Amino acid sequence: MSESVPSSASPVVRVEDLRVVFPTMDGDVHAVNGLSFEVPAGGALGIVGESGSGKSVTSLALMGLHRGSRARITGSIEVAGQDVVSASDRKLRRMRGNDIAMVFQDPMQSLHPQFTVGNQLVEALRVHRPEVSRSEARARAVRSLERVGIPHPQKRINSYPHEFSGGMRQRVVIAMGLMCDPKVLLADEPTTALDVTVQAQVLDLLDELRTDLGMGLILVSHDLAVVAGSVDEVVVMRHGVAVERGDVRTVLAEPEHPYTRALLAAVPRVDLSRAQRRARDRAERAQRTRQEQRRSTGATAAGEAGAKEPDRAFAPFTPEPKEERGEPLLRVEDVAQRFGVRGGVWGRTTDFWAVKGVSFDLFRGETLGIVGESGSGKSTLSRMVMRLLEPTRGRVEFEGRDITHMSERELRPLRRDMQMVFQNPYSSLNPRVTVGDAIGTALRVQGERDGRKVRRQVQELLERVGLEPDHYNRFPHAFSGGQRQRIAIARALILKPKLIICDEPVSALDVSTQDQVLRLLSELQDDFGLTYIFVAHDLAVVRQVSDRVAVMRAGEVVEMGDSDSVYEEPSSDYTRQLLNAAPVLDPEHARELRAERVRRRARAS
Amino acid sequence: MTAPMDAPESSQHADPDAAATGGANAANRSLRQIAWQRFRGDRVGMAGGIVVLLLILVALLAPLLTSWFGYPPNQFHQDLIDPLTGGVLRDPGGSSQELDPWGGISTQHLLGLEPVNGRDLFSRIVYGARTSLLVATVATLVCVVIGTVLGIVAGYFGGWVDMVISRAMDIFLAFPLLLFAIALVGVVPDGAFGLTGNNLRIGVLVFIIGFFNWPYIGRIVRGQTLTLKEREFVEAARSLGAGSAHIVFREILPNLLTPILVYSTLLIPTNILFEAALSFLGVGINPPMATWGGMLDNALRFYTTSPHFVIIPGLAIFVTVLAFNLFGDGLRDAFDPRSSD
């Protein structure tokens, strides 16, 4: 475009009183309701909010991608001097990719699988600059790939997207965005689909590009910690409204709006230990119970029955002395799992060991955290312990009984004692089965025939996990993610198990909901003396719930020990790398960590 | 919305984002209600549904309708027919031998008359609807039952079971169905299976159509079962100690009802066409029982003199098939999870 270069003072993106309304069957939904912000040239803005806050709608509106949908947009959006709301489709097309480039959440889906990345990069440039020759565009594409840190760009330019890993693919998407030297890069949850270490690399890259190329950056995320180290200014959104906006340091250090404060309080911190968190949760719970008791002092019977129970349950946390543990509840010895992977020449299957030789003991009342990135084998391990998979090698003992090769029929009575909470509350509940039936299934499967008894027990449990007893007849789709996970927890609890395996129980949830679910799990552990295996990729979450932690990588445990010592003094290099990559809330600390990562990388290359 | 979630009270209650999914009333609606609401908004699908409903009513009330608006379907009205050409006279009883280009459509005979025998077309169309819908629906039921059972078994148990059933599906689909039908009709003796005459013919038609079209449903069910059994809720049921029967009937089958319903609605028109084709070829229902295909077969000899005789049964088939297809498409859109939130 041949307009005059905007002075550094004029913002490259200006949004004023933006409103986006979607007409639906249940009336208008105000997805964005009066949002205003500015991004100066070369500046970085973070837009943070939970699901449904309108942050993604905002980023789509910035690109003018609501054209052709039924959304009604009012207010003004200016990108590089161009009014997006009123511009013609032609002008919009010229703007997209040229002035503002977008990086989407899922790099698996934002690249075309049938073309080489080189072709896609060349295309991105030639759409806007048809005068550039093919060879010139190709040279540029190589430079662009090199810029985002793809090794051997000369060769890799001819690769197809599926030949790259997730992190590399996201780099390719960023490289594509860079092809036309845009003035702003809009990244909508660019790292949500990626592992921690890869996330850190991509965020570092975005930061580096911004400083080197003087490009504006808009970083949209649900995670305050992701944004903290990468932006100057932050907008906190809720229900389509910016509840707080300001310098990232001020907002994070002295949040003004109660919502921001609540959000910050809910973010799990990697530097907070389990003992601290438990103490806090128990204190809050005790206070809550006291309040409730005060409120209902008239009830005499309740006072007598409830008085003893809470005192015992809410006793301050004291770690059990190790000698008294006795026999372990669960003993896992050198288990391994092999999968046949089809592929290679003539479709021959090759062996892939998802887990290779993991051993641990688990004692009653203990929580073992298992952390690892995707593909580390942590889910496979938990499924072997649950005996949803039969270990290829090794031994699993539960309460002294060898369950490694038990048949489904022999396992059935044992299923009472071992339960699982799954990762995705959207797929772990059958959409066609009412909540009450879903929870009651366990009782029926285990031989309970009395329908009224099942109903009563389910309703009691629904109340215990923070839902209403009359939710019994509702279908799962009527519940939010957090509520669904509560239902899933109730389903796991109904048989009063001894061991619950939580496979990423909070990774699909918003931070605030995540916090509530973690709290619930910890309360239930206090009340029922549960033993947990807690599998997650989020280091901070694992630290807060685990007594012991096992760090997994490529099917092996690289480090296992007392959770505080693993986090404070990691012995393995990999753990240190993970901890270093974990996003932190303090912007200064985040920058220090980034500097350290850059140093480490420079040393490595 | 509720208070910020740092307030300890609220953490015990429903999540603050519970209502954000679309108002309080959305929470209490079942999936079926949501689908119904969406279906009501789909005018084309609704129109199809209404026509389907009317057709079913027409078929059920055929004797009543013909007694009100027509004549018994096999009553001859040869006084209205030109004995030479077989066409319908414009002025019966008069001296003119001129033929009626409208085929005798009048207040007496709403859709005119059949050539040669002069049977009332309206009555025959109404009774034809009976035959068509009966054969198509029962045949579809046969398809659905066989297809669902074998599809679930193949998808759920996998391995060699899946191999055998999937190959069987391929074989059934590769079968030269029309030739087989023609051969079978010739071979089955009257009185076989305790059925005679047209009852036997209907039975044979249902058998042929149902028995050779089940792989269409079977493949869909198998595919759905394959994905459903990998879902976490099935794993959750297994971890509760549920056996195969529970998983198949309580966890998987309810999720298959929608696709089965949708595809059977789309299979009915195919089967109607198939029945018409068989009757047209003369291997379907025997005259004088009214069928749309059979009427078309007769009509072809008179298309120059009595074009209405071709057009009216043709239109009946066309409207029925179209209505079922639109209805099925509408159902699919209404239940399709991709078009929901």
ipTM comes to: 0.73
The Cα B13–Cα A483 span in angstroms is 10
Tell if the CB–CB gap between B14 and A467 is shorter than 8 Å: yes
Evaluate whether A481 touches A460 at the Cβ level (below 8 Å). Answer: no
Q: What is the mean pLDDT of residues B266-273?
A: 84
Residue A403: CB atoms within 10 Å: 20
- Specify the pLDDT at position B339: 45
Tokens of B322: 């179209």
Q: Are A371 and A197 in contact (CB under 8 A)?
A: no
The pLDDT of residue B293: 80
What's the token pair of residue A555? 């099917």
Q: How many CB pairs under 8 A join A and B?
A: 143
Q: For A26, name the nearest residue in chain B, comparing CA atoms only.
A: B22
Residues in chain A closer than 8 A to B256 (CB atoms): none
**Residue A300 confidence (pLDDT):** 47
Residue B291 has pLDDT above 90, yes or no: no
pLDDT at A91 over 80: yes
Q: What is the pLDDT, as a whole number, of residue A345?
A: 57
Contact B163/A at CB under 8 A: no
Question: For residues B14 and B242, which has the higher predicted lDDT (pLDDT)?
Answer: B242
Task: Summarize pLDDT for A306-326 with one digit per residue, the tens.
Answer: 444 444 444 444 445 454 567
Q: What is the DSSP string of A389-448?
A: S--SEEEEEETTEE-TT--HHHHHHHHTTEEEE-S-TTTSS-TTS-HHHHHHHHHHHTT-
Contact A25 B38 (CB under 8 A): yes
Asked if B23 lies within 8 A of A27 by C-beta distance, the reply is yes
**Mean of pLDDT values over B291-304:** 78
Quickly state the pLDDT bin for B119 (edges 50, 70, 90).
confident
| Nearest residue of chain A to residue B6 (CA atoms) | A262
Query: Among the listed ranges A43-57, A236-250, A569-583, B198-212, which one has the minimum average pLDDT value?
Result: B198-212
> Three-state SS for A343?
coil
* Pairwise pLDDT comparison (B4 vs B29), residue with the higher score: B29
For the cut 80, the answer to whether the pLDDT of residue B74 exceeds it is no
pLDDT of residue B149: 93
Judge contact between B140 and B268, C-beta under 8 A: yes
Instruction: Say what the pLDDT of residue A535 is.
Output: 92
pLDDT attached to residue A540: 86
Quick count: other Cβ atoms within 10 Å of Cβ A43? Answer: 21
pLDDT at B10 > cutoff 50: no
Query: If you search the block for the tokens 């200016």, which residue do you land on?
Result: A78
Q: What pLDDT, in 10s, does the model give residues A386-417?
A: 898 899 999 999 988 898 888 888 888 888 88
Among A441, A465, A507, A514, pick the best mutation site for testing chain B contact (most B Cβ within 10 A): A441
- B227 at A interface, C-beta within 8 A: no
Which of B233, B244, B246, B249 is most worth mutating to test chain A (most A CB atoms within 10 A of its CB)? B233
pLDDT of B26 over the 90 cut:
no
Residue in B closest to A438 by C-alpha:
B237
pLDDT at B9: 34
Q: How buried is A312 (Cβ within 10 angstroms: 0-12 exposed, 13-18 middle, 19+ buried)?
A: exposed
Q: Residue A550 pLDDT > 90, yes or no?
A: yes
Banded pLDDT at A228 (limits 50, 70, 90): confident
Mean pLDDT of B83-104: 68
Residue B336's pLDDT band, with cuts at 50, 70 and 90, is low
Could you give the angle at which helices B43-60 and B121-157 cross, rounded to 10 degrees? 120
The answer to whether A280 faces chain B, any CB pair under 8 Å, is no
Residue given tokens 């794993």 in the structure block: B235
- A385 has pLDDT over 60: yes
Concatenating the DSSP letter of every residue in A460-480 gives HHHHHTT--GGGTT--GGGS-
DSSP A105-134: S-TTTSS-TTS-HHHHHHHHHHHH-TTS-H
The pLDDT of A195-211, averaged and rounded, is: 86
Portion of chain B with pLDDT greater than 70, in percent: 78
pLDDT given at position B148:
93
Comparing CB atoms, the residue among B17, B28, B255 nearest residue A52 is B17
- Given this model, what pLDDT does residue B28 score? 54
Give the pLDDT of residue A370.
93
Distance in angstroms (rounded) separating the CA atoms of residues B85 and B95: 15
- What is the separation of C-alpha A587 from the centre of its chain, rounded to a whole number of angstroms? 20
Q: Cα–Cα distance between B274 and B280 in angstroms, integer?
A: 10
SS3 A337: strand
Per-residue pLDDT band for B78 (boundaries 50, 70, 90) equals low
CB contact under 8 Å between A412 and B30, yes or no, is no
Q: How far is CA A12 from CA A3, A20, A227, A229, B54, in A?
A: 13, 21, 20, 21, 62
Residue A552, pLDDT above cutoff 60: yes
Higher pLDDT pick, B88 / A260: A260
Residue A427 at interface with chain B, using a CB cutoff of 8 Å: yes
Using CA atoms, how far apart are residues A505 and A519, in angstroms rounded to an integer?
12
Q: What is the mean pLDDT of residues B191-198?
A: 71
pLDDT-derived band at B96, boundaries 50, 70, 90: low
Confidence of residue B42 (pLDDT cuts 50, 70, 90): confident
What pLDDT score does B94 carry?
65
A466 and B13: CB-CB below 8 Å?
yes
CA dist B152 and B141 (Å) reads 16
Backbone angles phi, psi at A106, to 5 degrees: -105, 105
How confident is the model over A466-525, as pLDDT tens digits?
A: 888 888 888 888 888 888 888 998 998 888 899 999 988 888 788 888 888 888 888 888
Look at residue A499 in the predicted model and tell me its pLDDT.
Answer: 92
A423 contacts B251? CB cut-off 8 A: no
Q: Are A393 and A334 in contact (CB under 8 A)?
A: yes
The H-or-E segment that residue A245 falls in is strand A241-247
Helix (H) or strand (E) holding A21: strand A11-24
B242 at A interface, C-beta within 8 A: yes
A130-154 b/e (C-beta count within 10 Å ≥ 16 → b): eebeeeebbebbbebbbbbbbeebe
Mutate to test the interface with B, among A243, A477, A483, A522 (most CBs of B within 10 A): A477
Higher pLDDT, A97 or A36: A36
Nearest to B8 among A27, A288, A430 (CB): A288
Is the pLDDT at A433 greater than 80? The verdict is yes
Per-residue DSSP letter, B191: T
The yes-or-no verdict on residue A9 having pLDDT over 60 is: no
Residue A482 with chain B: CB contacts under 8 Å: 15, 17
Residue with tokens 């005192």: A311
Closest residue in B to A238 (Cα) is B17
Cα A454 to Cα A414: distance, rounded to the nearest angstrom: 20
Report percent pLDDT > 90 for chain A: 13
Q: CB distance from B20 to chain A under 8 Å?
A: yes
| Residue A294 neighbours by CB distance under 10 Å | 8
Rounded to a whole number of angstroms, the distance from the CA of B28 to the nearest CA of chain A is: 7
Residue B196 has pLDDT above 80, yes or no: no
What is this structure's pTM? 0.76
More confident call, A331 vs A343: A331
pLDDT of residue A359: 92
Predicted confidence (pLDDT) at residue B76 exceeds the cutoff of 80: no
In the numeric block, which tokens belong to residue A188?
């909508």
Burial B118-148 (b: 16+ CB within 10 A, else e): bbbbbbbbbbbbbbbbebbbbbbebbbebbb
How far apart CA A57 and CA A35 sit, in angstroms, is: 11
B95 in reach of chain A (CB within 8 A): no
The answer, yes or no, to whether residue B89 has pLDDT greater than 70, is: no
pLDDT-based confidence at residue A83 (cuts at 50, 70, 90): confident
In this predicted structure, the answer to whether residue B341 has a pLDDT above a threshold of 50 is no
Instruction: Show the tokens assigned to A502.
Output: 């939580």
What mean pLDDT comes out for the span A551-565? Answer: 90
CA–CA gap between residue A393 and residue B38 (Å, rounded): 52
Q: How many CB atoms lie within 10 A of CB B284?
A: 26
For residues A113 and A116, give the distance between their C-alpha atoms in angstroms, rounded to a whole number: 8
